[in-house]
Chains A and B, each alone.
Chain A
Amino acid sequence: MENVTKKFPGVTALDNIQFNLKAGEVHVLLGENGAGKSTLIKIMTGAYTPTEGVIRVQGEEVKIDDPIHAQELGVGAVYQEFNLVPFLDVAQNVFLGKEPRKNGVIDRQYTLDKTKEALDMVGADIKADALVDTLGVASQQMVEIAKALNSRSKILILDEPSAVLTEKEIEKLFKVIERLTAEGVGVVYISHRLEEINVIADRVTVLRDGQYIQTVEVEKGKIDKDELVRLMVGRTLDDFFPKHDIEPGEEILRVENLGKKGVLENISFSLKKGEILGIGGLVGAGRTELAKAIFGAEPADSGKIFVHGKEVSIQSPSAGIANHIGVAPEDRKKEGLVQILEIDKNINLASMQKISRGPVVNFNKMDKVSNSMVDKLKIKTPHLKQLIMNLSGGNQQKVVLAKWLASDTEILILDEPTRGIDVGAKVEVYNLMNELAAAGKAIIMVSSELPELIAMSDRILVMHSGTISGELSKDEFSQERVLKLAAGGEA
């Protein structure tokens, strides 16, 4: 790809990008959210057409019209979000939309054979007639890869494939990648996990804010992490986590032996005003469930919760809110905000009582609250009536925080607070966390990003299969310790 530029009305998503892929190599595309990685792969797969620039496949200039054309050219892609139909079997999914016909009906045997071939190629032990719904995430990903490959596949694009996998599954995935590259397939691998890049990358191309930064040849096991981070974020990590030390105040929340059948077991901890308590652990360890249990969204069925030293019963979100607890959920789109509602209504959604007289809402008060929140949190918007769906991820997260500040939240639970938001906005979220802690709020931060967890927390609880497997004080913080505890071992 030479000098590729993609402009959308009002924004240049990609500016003069250079990218080339050799047969049999793993070429990592590195960059923060919003750097333009997704746009670039959408151009490779024909979902977007570039505004300027040239694409060559095996030396020949091509114009990729659509994903089907891309596949004919030998370009296959596996996206972060799977595109499988759950109640069809593997072979039906692999041949979806391109079913071979024999005598007017689908040639079932052919699809089964070819699917088996493709599954063998990736080395997956999956039956071609298994229902996709019965497969685990890792197996579904293998099906996606099998689907993306066909006999002519020369290029495979993997968009953050490890995000949904466990350590072991990632190892397996790497074996599959090795097998494919040995057969001459070029792999475009998108990730921002430096550890992985260290294991599989041959070359790394860094994008930042839609700009081409640099392509680096790397030696496996010997990558210069600091250099890559510097290229990726354009600054060093120290400015990246602006942690302020705040003297914690009195205890505000105490949880004793909290349990929920099959999800949480015997959870006890306390939280002080001004404190940022990090919660680490793997996906599925019960972190989000703990957050939801404290807030009342999915109440616990045993144990006690004390707020300001008094035992409280929290059986619903409204009870959580009444106890001044708020949650910024992991999935902002699905759980945090009403996308097709205006900013001002979203900000005030949890505190309508405060700005209403009986059933009638006082819209002057709503404007006042909203304006002060927009100023305070630096939410970038032309006006308060903007719909949430038109805001960037970072600004959406700020609206979620604004909602809880507007409802006088004292205990703020942030579940993956910086997921899916760009670097600049991340720093702003960290700064806000500092400000809130300084103002005496207590923060629980669930995070899978170890650098963030370590830099921003005053104390870290690590969870493993529904229990707290260890607590680390500031002088004990290290990525290795968190990972060990997360895996259920001793720190």
Chain B
Amino acid sequence: MEIAQINKLKNNRFFETYKTQISTFIALIAIGLILSLMTDKFLTGKNLLSVMRQSSINSILAAGMTFVIISGGIDLSVGAIVALSTAIMGDLVVNSGLNPFMGMAVALLLGVIAGSTQGLIIAKVKIPPFIVTLGGMTVWRGVALEYVNGSNVYGLPKPLIWLGGGDVLGIPAPVLMALLVYLGAWFLLKKTKFGTYTYAIGGNEVAARLSGINIDKILVLIYSLNGLLCGVSGILIAGRINATSAVVGVGYELDAIAAVAIGGTSMSGGKGIIWGTLLGALVMGVIRNGLNLMRVSPYYQQIIIGVVIVGAVSIDALRRSRK
């Protein structure tokens, strides 16, 4: 009976389009089931909320990274831009007494400035995004460290702390923020010209240009959007740890890229679905949480996460090549 059913499903266009994401979803449920059997703490409301809270920042960064990767690029400067926006915001708000809402605006603006600068260089000077953002990675962190002179700031005002640790009807604020980001990202990718052009540029930049698309503008917008989401993450991190520092966010870009890859977005661009990225980020969050609950050492955790990333993408690639 199953084969007939599977065949029926295969003919289904929905299944065709979303097959990677469906398998990621099934994997997520399966991992969840295994963890609930192995520990009694996993399947509790409190723990599930905390998984979501812990995944929220990676989810938000991965959403921006999805645009970048669909356009055929990559952004290695994500963690550094997070540090830039959070550290300068913290310093201005705590040490210079800037209004916290103005502080947040500054964080977002810094993210956009860093992102758009990189986007401009990628578009106009035509240097590969890998190189531009590799440079950005050290430049932005350097700027952040220099600005705060390597020191940390503690004791942030209430609105910031609420954004990092507060909740609405029991749902953590960062989780709500992540949901908003994903709804927005979905709308941009699926419903706007900007989204369609992002796919077109990643799929075939020459054909996109010859269709009259302003490639430079779209690229700058994509990297600016990614920078903006780095700013959002910077604000949430500050609120969560009630402190800011220029050394946060190291390696965040890699987690974001991993979530995008697990979610089925093609690393060569042109193809990808935003909800897949969300699932990818959740898979990573659930595995980390489970390993913590089972008291697996952080060293082993690194090994396991790495294997999961390569494994997930391999399964997808193998299935495709068999076809």
- A residues contacting B by CB (< 8 A) are 295, 297, 316-318, 320-321, 327, 329, 334-341, 345, 349-350, 352-353, 356, 359-361, 363, 383, 385, 403, 407
Contact = CB atoms under 8 A, between A and B. Distances in A.
B13 A385 contact: yes
B319 to A, nearest CB: 17
A293 B44 CA distance: 66
A161 to B, nearest CB: 28
A318 B214 contact: yes
A349 B210 CA distance: 10
Contacts of A336: 207, 210
Residue from B191, B212, B214, B266 whose CB has the most chain A CB atoms within 10 Å: B212
Range, interface on chain B: 20 to 34
B214 A352 contact: no
A403 B211 contact: yes
Interface string B204-216: 1011111111100
A316 B212 CA distance: 8
A338 B207 contact: yes
B210 A338 contact: no
Nearest to B194: A359
Nearest to A400: B207
A382 to B, nearest CB: 9
Contacts of B214: 318
Interface stretch (B73-81, B174-182, B195-203): B195-203
B204 A334 contact: yes
B41 interface: no
User: Sorted from nearest, which 10 A-B pairs have the closest CB atoms?
Assistant: A338-B203, A318-B212, A321-B212, A350-B211, A349-B211, A338-B204, A340-B270, A359-B192, A352-B193, A340-B203
A23 B210 CA distance: 49
A350 B199 contact: no
A317 B210 contact: yes
Interface class of chain B by DSSP? helix
A273 to B, nearest CB: 23
A83 B290 CA distance: 50
Contacts of A345: 196, 199-200
Given A335-B210, A350-B212, 9 more contacts: A317-B212, A320-B212, A329-B210, A335-B204, A338-B203, A339-B204, A349-B207, A356-B193, A363-B191
B276 to A, nearest CB: 16
Contacts of A349: 196, 200, 207-208, 211, 213
Contacts of A338: 199-200, 203-204, 207-208, 270
A349 B270 CA distance: 14
A329 to B, nearest CB: 7
Nearest to A295: B210
B271 interface: yes
Contact of B271 (A316, A321, A334, A340): A340
Contacts of B17: 385
A357 to B, nearest CB: 10
A360 B187 CA distance: 9
A353 to B, nearest CB: 8
B212 A360 contact: no
A320 B193 CA distance: 20
A316 B209 CA distance: 9
Contacts of A317: 209-212
A360 B192 contact: yes
Contacts of B200: 338, 341, 345, 349
A337 B204 contact: yes
Interface in B1-44: 13, 17
Contact of B203 (A321, A341, A360, A363): A341
Interface of B: 13, 17, 191-194, 196-197, 199-200, 203-204, 206-214, 266, 270-271
Nearest to B196: A345
Nearest to A363: B191
A317 B208 CA distance: 10
Contacts of B192: 356, 359-361
B113 to A, nearest CB: 22
Contacts of B206: 334-335
A212 B13 CA distance: 37
Contacts of A320: 212
Residue from B13, B194, B200 whose CB has the most chain A CB atoms within 10 Å: B200
13 contacts: A327-B210, A335-B206, A337-B204, A339-B204, A340-B270, A341-B200, A345-B199, A349-B196, A349-B200, A353-B193, A360-B191, A360-B193, A361-B196
A329 B210 CA distance: 9
B134 to A, nearest CB: 24
Nearest to B192: A359
A339 B203 contact: yes
Contacts of A335: 204, 206-207, 210
A383 B208 CA distance: 22
Nearest to A389: B203
Nearest to B188: A359
A403 B207 CA distance: 12
A339 B208 CA distance: 11
A340 B320 CA distance: 15
Contacts of B266: 340
A319 B266 CA distance: 32
Nearest to A336: B207
Contacts of A337: 204, 207
A470 to B, nearest CB: 29
A335 B271 CA distance: 18
Contacts of A363: 191
Contacts of A385: 13, 17
B216 to A, nearest CB: 10
B186 to A, nearest CB: 13
Nearest to B204: A338
A327 B208 CA distance: 13
Contacts of A329: 210
A122 B166 CA distance: 79
Contacts of A353: 193
A383 B16 CA distance: 14
A316 B211 CA distance: 10
A331 B32 CA distance: 49
B268 to A, nearest CB: 9
Contacts of B209: 297, 317
B74 to A, nearest CB: 18
A360 B196 CA distance: 10
A219 B207 CA distance: 46
A441 to B, nearest CB: 18
Contacts of B271: 340
Contacts of B203: 338-341
A353 B206 CA distance: 19
B10 to A, nearest CB: 13
Nearest to B271: A340
A338 to B, nearest CB: 4
A181 B192 CA distance: 62
